[in-house]
Amino acid sequence: MNSPSSPSDTPRFHNPVRNPQAANYILLTLVTFAITVVGTRLYLELTGYPQLGNKTFHIAHALWGGLFLMIAVMLLLIYVNRYMHTVSAIFAGIGVGLFIDEVGKFITQSNDYFFPLAAPIIYVAFLLFLLVYLSLRRRRLTRVRGEMYDVLEEFQEILDDDLQEREYTALVNRLQPLTRQTERPDLAALAQALLGFLESNTQNIRPDETNWMTRWLERVRRFENAWLDQVTSRRLLMAALTTLSFLSALTITLLLLVVFDRNTLGNLFVEDIIRDNIRVTGMTSFVSYLVLLSGQVVTGVLYIAALAFFWVRREMLAVNLGGAALIVSITVLNTLDFYFNQFTVVLDSLALFGVLILMLRYRARYFMPQSSGRESNQSSTQPTTP
């Protein structure tokens, strides 16, 4: 008869456990991917689209992308060091960027690198990476098994003789509750043994060091505290919303002219915007362009409403409306816009991302007590100047 502790009676756990550094690795892949695509397009534009090969062979950069992806996978399969995950994330971003940059060739019979649908596909891929990153940043409730995975990964610092004081303190604080849990008595015993090892003073604990990411974030925080107080941030947001509202008003005027005045399409200004757009080649693309303009009208109304609520001190409502309009613009409208204007929309997307980040930081700092420690949404603390 098998004993209670025999392998046949012990439950097995095969569900995957999330890497505690997953969000950082995905962010690194995301940034490298974006830089690779933009850098590749810019390089090809400046150099006249050179080709590596001869009359028979053409070594497309999608092949180099596949090579970088293969290296990224091999590094993960061969090495367990944490820094190799960082290298692999960078290589994966480069590989995905080089590969997806040639997506136009893969979706057309004519292998058309400049096919207009390629730019929206690349942009959607970027947004999907961003969505994964944002989902990974959310706090998660970690079960005992997952928590022990994280702890054991942190013990790599001891193996590399690189355990710093803050890492030592964090390990002790994570192990102590594990020793008291009753869900997994076996892991409680393991946690007690690991805690005893840490408290034995046999390991070399180094003074705290800051990496480049920590130093960069600290500089950003110092700049934010020194230059972006509530009044300044509010003025910047109102200036951005004013600009977006003005551009939207132009779009609204253009759309009304096209819809209600048949002679509008003969206007030189309108022709430059619509009829002379090389992507508007037929009724389908023309209707799609009108859909894009209509969406810009909707977001424009939201921008104007957000600006008005800022003026009347309804700031939380203003931030919510403005944030919603920015998210729709970035995710939906810019995807359509990439079809018609290709990679010239990159700067527009970066500007919208910048405004969205500023708006989210404004809400986090002044309307969320848990992040700022202040109840800033009370009327007594509102700034007195626009």
Question: What DSSP letter does each residue of 331-372 carry, written as one string?
Answer: IIIHHHHHHHHGGGHHHHHHHHHHHHHHHHHHHHHHS-HHHH
Q: How many CB atoms lie within 10 A of CB 347?
A: 9
Q: Region of 181 please: left (phi>0), alpha (psi -120 to 50) or beta.
A: beta
Q: Quick one: which of 118, 102, 106, 135 has its CA closest to 30?
A: 135
Q: How far is Cα 380 from Cα 230, in angstroms, rounded to an integer? A: 13
Q: Which of 47-51, 124-128, 159-163, 212-216 is predicted with the least confidence, judged by mean pLDDT?
A: 212-216
Q: What is the mean pLDDT of residues 30-46?
A: 91
Q: What is the mean pLDDT of residues 325-345?
A: 86
Q: How far is Cα 170 from Cα 82, in angstroms, rounded to an integer? A: 18
The model's confidence at residue 299, banded by pLDDT at 50, 70 and 90, is: very high
**So what's the pLDDT on residue 36?**
94
- Between residues 283 and 92, the one the model is more confident about: 92
For residues 345 and 337, is the Cβ–Cβ distance under 8 A?
Answer: yes
The model's confidence at residue 199, banded by pLDDT at 50, 70 and 90, is: confident
Q: How far is Cα 328 from Cα 323, in angstroms, rounded to an integer? A: 9
Q: What is the mean pLDDT of residues 33-47?
A: 90
- Between residues 342 and 274, the one the model is more confident about: 342
Q: Please say if the pLDDT value at position 209 is more than 90.
A: no
**So what's the pLDDT on residue 260?**
58
**So what's the pLDDT on residue 284?**
67
Three-state DSSP class for 157? helix
Q: How many CB atoms lie within 10 A of CB 70?
A: 12
**So what's the pLDDT on residue 194?**
92
Q: What does pTM read for this prediction?
A: 0.77
Give the HSE-up count for residue 110: Cα atoms under 13 Å, Cβ half-sphere: 4
Q: How far is Cα 365 from Cα 353, in angstroms, rounded to an integer? A: 18
The residues that bridge with 53 in the sheet, in sequence order, are 58
**So what's the pLDDT on residue 15?**
79
Q: Please say if the pLDDT value at position 344 is more than 80.
A: no
Tell me the CA distances in angstroms from 18 to 92, 96, 142, 213, one per residue in order.
18, 22, 9, 22
Please state the φ and ψ torsions of residue 17, each to the nearest 5 degrees: -115, 130
One-letter identity of residue 183: E
The model's confidence at residue 351, banded by pLDDT at 50, 70 and 90, is: very high
Helix axes 144-154, 165-180, angle to 10 degrees: 150
**So what's the pLDDT on residue 380?**
38
- Between residues 323 and 369, the one the model is more confident about: 323
Q: What is the mean pLDDT of residues 224-249?
A: 91
Three-state DSSP class for 98? helix
Among all chains, which residue has been given the structure tokens 């076996």? 186
Locate all alpha helices (DSSP H) within the chain, ordered by sequence.
22-47, 61-78, 82-100, 103-106, 118-137, 144-154, 156-159, 165-180, 185-198, 212-227, 230-260, 268-270, 283-311, 315-328, 334-341, 345-366, 369-372
pLDDT > 90 fraction of the chain, expressed in percent and rounded: 35
Six token digits for residue 139: 């706090």
**So what's the pLDDT on residue 156?**
87
Give the HSE-up count for residue 3: Cα atoms under 13 Å, Cβ half-sphere: 2
Q: What is the mean pLDDT of residues 238-261?
A: 79
Q: Please say if the pLDDT value at position 382 is more than 50.
A: no
Q: Please say if the pLDDT value at position 274 is more than 60.
A: no
The model's confidence at residue 308, banded by pLDDT at 50, 70 and 90, is: very high
Q: What is the mean pLDDT of residues 235-244?
A: 94
**So what's the pLDDT on residue 367?**
84
**So what's the pLDDT on residue 31?**
93
Would you list the domain boundaries of the chain?
Answer: 22-137, 144-198, 227-381
User: Tell me: the pLDDT tens digits for 41-80?
Assistant: 888 888 988 887 777 788 888 999 999 999 999 999 999 8
Q: How far is Cα 25 from Cα 23, in angstroms, rounded to an integer? A: 5
Across the chain, mean pLDDT equals: 82
**So what's the pLDDT on residue 153?**
87
Q: Please say if the pLDDT value at position 120 is more than 80.
A: yes
